[in-house]
Amino acid sequence: MFEIDKLRVDPAEPFDISKHDPGDTGLAPGDKEETERTSAELELKIDELQELLYAGHQHKLLIVLQGMDTSGKDGTIRHVLRGVSLQGVRVISFKRPTEVELDHDFLWRVHSQTPAAGEIVVFNRSHYEDVLVVRVHELVPKEQWKQRYEQINAFEKMLTENGVTILKFFLHISSDEQRKRLQDRLDDPTKRWKFQHGDIEERKLWGDYMKAYEHAIEKTSTDWAPWYVVPANRKWYRNWVVASAIVRTLEKLKMEYPQPDLSKEVIE
Ligand code: AMP
Ligand code: MG
């Protein structure tokens, strides 16, 4: 078993979020510096594997990033995918749905953004908001959001049966860490633009969000689309975990460059 697999949420087990320490760094290959060196190597590996994926035009990779405000969704993308070719990779950020989107089912806007052959797509927030913020604020009646866990599992199963490999990461920070990071956003002129007044209101609902995450992860960590719970208080550890899981997953696809028969081609 690969070390990183220990952070996968076992579909057969109940999931207790309080047993997962956001400050943990237990699986790191070394101290901060050493881990950062390993991550840089993993990131190069991701670039190579992405090129293979693109060349092969067969597999599709969907990476879902979820986490509370300031948990590091943007930073993870910036680090882990820093070297990939812009061809063949898309990042999609899901914001509050528009009127038109709200007039459709909740997966409508999501489905059209899923990866095509040879593509890697990263969801910065995702259809999981429809069982997180929507549940916490009761934006739709309970009878409706309760049905969504099964609908999500069926949707993700359909995607995997159509060539999509799905990796889902919950970037798990502590409430204390969020306080520090929000304060940082207020204090730093280069980060202040990210601060939204609503962030403080949402923070008051921390407990409700943790329950919603716990429930969502328990119900939707499946054999075909597993959740990884990423201890994310330390950015260097978070980046290493996500990079490792991506490399491990892409390597399992055993991709090779296509070798078309060009034996009759002559270059004059
Ligand atoms: P940010 O990620 O900071 O740019 O904020 C995006 C906001 O959009 C967050 O507050 C999300 O909770 C919100 N959002 C994303 N998807 C949904 C959804 N399906 N329903 C309601 N709010 C959403
Ligand atoms: Mg925000």
- pLDDT given at position 263: 86
User: Taking residues 46-50, what's their average pLDDT?
Assistant: 98
- Verify whether ligand 1 is closer than 6 Å to residue 133 (CB atom): yes
pLDDT exceeds cutoff 90 at 13: yes
Reported as a single tens digit per residue, the pLDDT across 159-174 is 999 999 999 999 999 9
* C-alpha torsion angle, residues 6, 4, 162, 148 (rounded to 10): 50
164/63 Cα distance (integer angstroms):
10
Instruction: Look over the chain and give the mean of its residue pLDDT values, rounded to a whole number.
Output: 97
The pLDDT, as a whole number, for residue 178 is 98
Q: What is the spatial distance between Cα 58 and Cα 20, in angstroms, rounded to a whole number? A: 36
Tell me which long-range contacts 37-45 makes (C-beta under 8 A, separation of at least 24). 38/240, 39/79, 39/80, 39/236, 39/239, 39/240, 39/243, 42/240, 42/243, 42/244, 42/246, 42/247, 43/79, 43/80, 43/81, 43/82, 43/83, 43/243, 44/83, 45/247
pTM of the model: 0.97
Give yes or no for residue 96 CB within 6 A of ligand 1.
yes
95 Cβ closer than 6 Å to some ligand 1 atom: yes
pLDDT given at position 137:
98
Query: Domain limits of the chain?
Result: 3-173+206-251
Terminal CA-to-CA distance of the chain, rounded, Å? 52
To test the ligand 1 pocket, which listed residue (113, 122, 125) has its Cβ within 8 A of the most ligand atoms? 125
Distance 113 CA to ligand 2 centre (A): 21
Picking from 175-179, 215-219, 264-268, which range would have the lowest pLDDT averaged per residue?
Answer: 264-268
Q: Say which CATH architecture domain 3-173+206-251 belongs to.
A: 3-Layer(aba) Sandwich (3.40)
Between 234 and 266, residue with greater pLDDT = 234
Query: pLDDT tens digits, residue range 239-262?
Result: 999 999 999 999 999 999 999 998
pLDDT score for 2: 79
pLDDT for position 1: 60
Interatomic CA distance for residues 234 and 25, integer angstroms = 8
Ligand 1 atom closest to residue 133's alpha carbon, by position in its atom list:
12
